[in-house]
Amino acid sequence: MIDFARVQKELVECSKDAEGSGIRVIPKSDNLVHLIGTIPGPIGTPYEGGVFQIDITLPEGYPFEPPKMQFSTKVWHPNISSQSGAICLDILKDQWSPALTLKTALLSVQALLSAPQPDDPQDAVVAQQYLKDYQTFVNTARYWTESFAKTSSRGIEVKVQKLVEMGFPEAQVRSILEAVGGDENLALERLL
């Protein structure tokens, strides 16, 4: 049986500090079993500026069993599946402790974004790239952040559209935008 009283308290606690940490947890429905967490991409990483959504499902035994967390925002990271958003993080598995909370767990996920562990990968392709071609990894991660983790006004689609309207072929625009990490001006320079 989920301890809803505790979940309720956690939500209150989390919202108090939402401005400071940037971490938010809101119920997806009204039963508190499904929640949505959001974390800002850590500063100084390819995820900077992005806002990442995480689907949270509480198991029956919460808080004695770990919450199930999965990125619903696509993210390019060695320990997060680029397909499903599954997260490889010890505290969400055997290192979970009932003394941890949704907020501390999300903080750990945020820390994972800043410190990838390519030796214990969830996504082998990403991990390979991280180890062998770090610059490409950074570019791809930044491009994905631009494409999926930013609000649409600043989103990549707008930039693509703009450049296509300037007369460049769409496929080329997309690949160059990806290569330069979504920077519109850099992309234009390259295209010219």
**Site residues for other proteins per CB under 8 A:** 3, 5-6, 9-10, 61, 63-65, 91, 95, 97-100, 104
Residues 6+ apart with CB under 8 A from 160: 170, 173, 174, 177
39 phi and psi, to 5 degrees?
-130, 140
- Residue 64 or 134: which CB sits closer to other proteins? 64
- Residue 58 or 173: which CB sits closer to other proteins? 58
**Of the residues 88, 138, 164, 186, which is catalytic?**
88
Residue whose structure tokens are 């108090």: 16
Q: Closest distance between other proteins and the C-beta of residue 22, in Å? A: 22
User: In 10 A of CB 127, how many CB atoms?
Assistant: 20
88 part of the active site: yes
Q: Closest distance between other proteins and the C-beta of residue 63, in Å? A: 6
Q: Closest distance between other proteins and the C-beta of residue 102, in Å? A: 12
Measured between alpha carbons, how far is 91 from 99 in angstroms, rounded to an integer?
11
Buried b (16+ CB within 10 A) or exposed e, 140-155: bbbbbbbbbbbeeeeb
Residues 6+ apart with CB under 8 A from 138: 46, 181
Q: Closest distance between other proteins and the C-beta of residue 61, in Å? A: 5
* Residues forming the active site: 88
